[in-house]
Structure 1
């Protein structure tokens, strides 16, 4: 993989599921209160530099999900909605809707769109770190994309699992980072690194 300093001119920023429903108590305790500010900064940078931005929305089929279609929580958070359509120059924009974890299993096809734009590098931000973000990163890596996973531009929630096990949002974030980076599905990076790499171009 190339160094993080090399953010290519047509790298796509993939903004995953930054929706109002994630602000509800339904999910429990979250981590990284800086996530939204970092996401906003990267969207602004991508739009200012004419790079492509993909906005992904989870249209849940669950009857009680805060992300269900037709419910207020399905909408993008205001800071994202306000930025949609603000790209300068020739920077293309895409809206992908999905009902599963991976943005590559949505409509329209993210893979087809990226390949149609000759995009080989994707930068993932959004919600949740160990769920839709991680699944999208793994699939992107499997499909041959150069995936950057911007760990401080995302967040997740504490979670209970099998056998009475549970992990905090911070523990889940670290596990995701180690698995993706160590397994070479993606390069786990910081917002600061990405900004420096993008501006250097």
Structure 2
């Protein structure tokens, strides 16, 4: 039987800071909470990833590392901390997943074009089958640095959809939460 682990990436209070700019998908945390409740009810493995920034003044340091209430870990949940984009770099995530026999991962979190994308890509490259939950992820417009050209700034939704389009098919199967919860 395939062991499917839920990986919740960086769903933290620090992403409430205004510095990030406009955001898409305001219900991403609720959808992640729905997935978490389902995984717990099915007694499936859950892993939380927390970004602890080493950048002075980062919103993802101090109280900004607190998990949002929709996905508060239980004492039995596994938590890995990182300071780079990938949940696999400098953590025991891969060893833990191999130890529990996980071959399939369901990934959600913040932000789509950064830590979610990087972790998804690495998971696929390490041989895991990945489901990436579109409506349980979100992006920010401030991530769209187009200073390299004269083109228009991208919206948070454009960034989100573009990141997902780059992952779907090659690195993951992009799905909606309700599809997973009904399966």
Band the TM-score falls in, shorter-chain normalisation: over 0.9
1:146-185 C-alpha deviation (Å, 9 max, x unpaired): 0000010011100223224431111111111111114x11
1:186 — aligned with what?
172
Aligned partner of 1:177 among 155, 160, 164: 164
TM-score by length of 2: 0.93
- Where has structure 1 moved over 3 Å in runs of 4 or more? none
1:41-100 C-alpha deviation (Å, 9 max, x unpaired): 0000000110000000000001021002xx21111112222x423x6xxxxx31110000
Unpaired runs of 5+ in structure 1? 1-7, 88-92
Aligned partner of 1:95 among 79, 83, 89: 79
1:59 aligns with 2:52: yes
1:147 — aligned with what?
130
1:196 — aligned with what?
182
Number of equivalences: 179
C-alpha separation in 2, matches of 1:130 and 1:194: 22
Unpaired runs of 5+ in structure 2? none
Aligned partner of 2:140 among 142, 154, 157: 157
TM-score by length of 1: 0.85
What is the CA-CA distance between 1:9 and the residue it aligns to? 5.8
C-alpha separation in 1, matches of 2:166 and 2:55: 29
Equivalent position SS for 2:88: helix
Contact kept? 1:96, 1:106, Cα under 8 Å? no
